[in-house]
Amino acid sequence: MSATATTARTKVDPAVDRPAGRLRVHAWFTPYLFLLPYLALLTTFVLVPAVFGIWVSLHDWDFMLPNKPFIGLQNYVDLFTPDSVTFPEFWNGMKATAIFTVASVPFLVLIPLGIALMLNRVFPARSLLRAMIFAPFVLGIAVVGVLFRYLLDSQFGLINWFLGLFGIPPVGWTQTQPWAWVALVGMTVWWTLGFNAVIYLAGLQGIPRDQYEAAAIDGAGSFARFINVTLPGLRNILVFIITTTVLASANMFGQAYLVTNGGPGDSTRTAIMVMTQEGLRAFKMGSATAMSYLLAICLAVVSVINFMVLREREGGK
Amino acid sequence: MTSTRVEPQPSALAGGASGSVRRRRAYRQERNGPFFWVGIVILALIFVIPLLWMFLTSFRTVEDSRRIPISLIPDQLTLRAYKLLFADEQNPVFTWALNSLMAAVGHAVLVLVVASMAAFALARMKFPGQKVIFGIIIATMFVPGFIFLMPNYLMMDRLGWLDTLIALIVPGAAGAFGVFFLRQFFLAIPRELEESARVDGANSWQIFTRIILPISKPGLVTLGVLAFLGNWNDFIWPIFVLFSPERLTLPAGLSTLQGAYNIDYPVIMAGASVAAIPVLILYVFVQRYVIEGVATSGLKG
């Protein structure tokens, strides 16, 4: 890049070089023309749907029926009325989503950090290992889902076979609780851990070497260096990882859809499963959109709280 | 490799991966003890074994895949699962693969064209309304995707795009990530390059196609790969907007396959392998870009 820059610069004829002032660069409408295709897509598939969704949620919008009467906030009121049709399913889904999020986030924050610390050391085949750990993430949930369904099979699954080597009797991973949650959290960690680990690695490489050198000279052991140099250096990365991981976990769908099918009972039917069932299988778009907006509001609140808590801690130090 | 380096995004990684870090000199790395090596080996096994098991099972017979206790070494390897899979008219895996490929390539190309044009305007020009437009684009990144599921489904219905590949290619290209990502790239290009071209009489389109795009190749490749992978692996949208067996993509088809071949694990693992192998191969070649793309702008999760 720098090579190109120098050759290009030598081409400039000093006589034509403008004094300080800006070149008459482009017509006023040029930037808008460049933006037009993207803005057209953004308007059609993001801005309009976001508003249209609110409109839909205010109606008894059954996709299959010609009449879609306006019912105001009724869909939202129903979600807070214990004897409505949507109430039990929706809150069951919210509970499942909350359980999954609370159970998975600590692992997805801590394990990748440990792995990033290992991978940040210098050893042969380091990049191969990095590539291996990150590989599952490029696979997508459909492949990972059907693969784990087989690995977790209570009779023919590799995982129970392996546990059997230690004398552990077969576990009904998809049929019993709390094992279904253990299985879903475990496979999610396996699948997405590399993503967070790579972000941590980028952060670790941004911590200046001399800070470690200084700490070492002051006699800090490796644990002290971790607490006093590594963790403070990763603060922003941690905030980022916690926030994105919470949001990703709250979006859980494919794992439960493919591996446990929402079971046992309805215990792993997440909020997204409930709303897609309501809107895209039963075609009751009105109540389904109301659910999705309510979940979005809950997530926004969680994000704000999360942000404030992490901010506070930062200010306190 | 400084040219492939994207400036870290201020919001995401402030104080993070800035500057190039040269490892060597002074402060010696601690020696890697036996615990470290045991940990590394276990880690490697945890990530490799499931994938190997998937490939291996796809070459087994049904009986072999359901033997108790599990036989780690297959008694024979067979192409039965693949033959069955590619001959099955109810579950046309080959067509699914083609659909996936067309959708993912179409999507990646559309993202690159549309996002690079928008990013060029936002990064290299000054115009009224610029801040507002950029603000709106960024704001859309923080809205959870599921709120668009229902309204966009209705939109697809109105446009007559339900059960077509266009439904997979177009709506996702409205995502803000590509614009944001390329804007960071374009911002780093020195102004003199553009000014000298202006002096030579180049118009904006020429500057965009002959100067900005060629030097941004690493960024374009990264974004193209991420867009391809995202589309190839997308699950929730295709399973709802596609219905006909011959219109499905591989991920959507896999869930059908799981239902149809409930107890035939080799066939399901063969289907999973068909979906996994292309992206794993792609990943081997562009791994560095993918990791860098995630590390410097890991906003996708």
On whether residue A68 sits in a domain, the answer given is no
Minimum mean pLDDT range among A300-314, B81-95, B168-182 = A300-314
- Residue A314 contacts B where some CB pair is shorter than 8 Å: no
Neighbours of B75 (CB within 10 A): 10
How much is the average pLDDT of B152-164? 95
Task: Pick the residue from chain A with its C-alpha nearest to B22.
Answer: A209
Neighbours of B217 (CB within 10 A): 12
Residue A316 confidence (pLDDT) above 60: no
Owning domain of residue A288? 88-310
Convert the pLDDT of each residue in A188-207 to its tens digit.
Answer: 999 999 999 999 998 898 88
On whether residue A54 sits in a domain, the answer given is no
pLDDT band of A19, cuts 50, 70, 90: very low
pLDDT band of B297, cuts 50, 70, 90: low
Which residues 136-155 of B have a C-beta within 8 angstroms of A? 136-137, 140, 143-155
Residue A209 confidence (pLDDT) above 90: no
On whether residue A25 sits in a domain, the answer given is no
**CA-closest candidate to residue A230, choices A206, A254, A256, A257:** A206
Architecture of B90-298 per CATH? Orthogonal Bundle (1.10)
CA angle B12, B16, B21 (to 5 degrees): 145
CATH number of the domain where residue A175 is located: 1.10.3720.10
- Residue A3 contacts B where some CB pair is shorter than 8 Å: no
- pTM score: 0.86
Rg (CA), chain B: 24
Convert the pLDDT of each residue in A221-235 to its tens digit.
Answer: 888 889 888 988 888
Neighbours of B185 (CB within 10 A): 26
Residue B9 confidence (pLDDT) above 80: no
Taking an 8 Å cut-off on Cβ atoms, the answer to whether B117 and A37 are in contact is yes
Which residues 187-226 of A have a C-beta within 8 angstroms of B? 190, 192, 195, 198-199, 201-203, 205-206, 208-210, 212-213, 216, 222
On whether residue A12 sits in a domain, the answer given is no
Contacting residues of A for B106, CB less than 8 Å apart: none
Tell me what pLDDT residue A5 has.
43
* Sign, Cα dihedral of A56, A62, A64, A68: negative
Residue B14 confidence (pLDDT) above 60: no
DSSP H or E run through A231: helix A231-233
Q: Residue type at A207?
A: I
Report the 3 state secondary structure along B156-172: HHHHCCCCCCHHHHCHH
Convert the pLDDT of each residue in A113-154 to its tens digit.
Answer: 999 999 988 888 888 888 888 889 889 999 999 999 999 999
* Structural domain count, chain A: 1
Task: Pick the residue from chain A with its C-alpha nearest to B64.
Answer: A156
Contacting residues of B for A143, CB less than 8 Å apart: 54, 233, 251, 254, 272, 275-276
Distances (CA, A) of A113 to A196, A197, B18, B216: 8, 6, 19, 32
Task: Pick the residue from chain A with its C-alpha nearest to B241.
Answer: A280
Contacting residues of B for A208, CB less than 8 Å apart: 21
Neighbours of A174 (CB within 10 A): 21
Residue A252 confidence (pLDDT) above 70: yes
Indicate the average pLDDT of chain A.
Answer: 88
Residue B20 confidence (pLDDT) above 90: no
> Crossing angle of helices B217-233/B93-124, nearest 10°?
140
Tell me what pLDDT residue A179 has.
96
Question: Per-domain residue ranges for chain B?
Answer: 34-77, 90-298
On whether residue A167 sits in a domain, the answer given is yes
Task: Pick the residue from chain B with its C-alpha nearest to A250.
Answer: B144
Q: Measured between CB atoms, which of A52, A132, A222 is closest to B44?
A: A132
What ipTM was reported for this prediction?
0.85
Minimum mean pLDDT range among A17-21, A117-121, B140-144 = A17-21
Probe site for chain B from A28, A108, A147 (most B CB atoms < 10 A): A147
Residue A23 confidence (pLDDT) above 70: no
Contacting residues of A for B283, CB less than 8 Å apart: 131, 135, 138
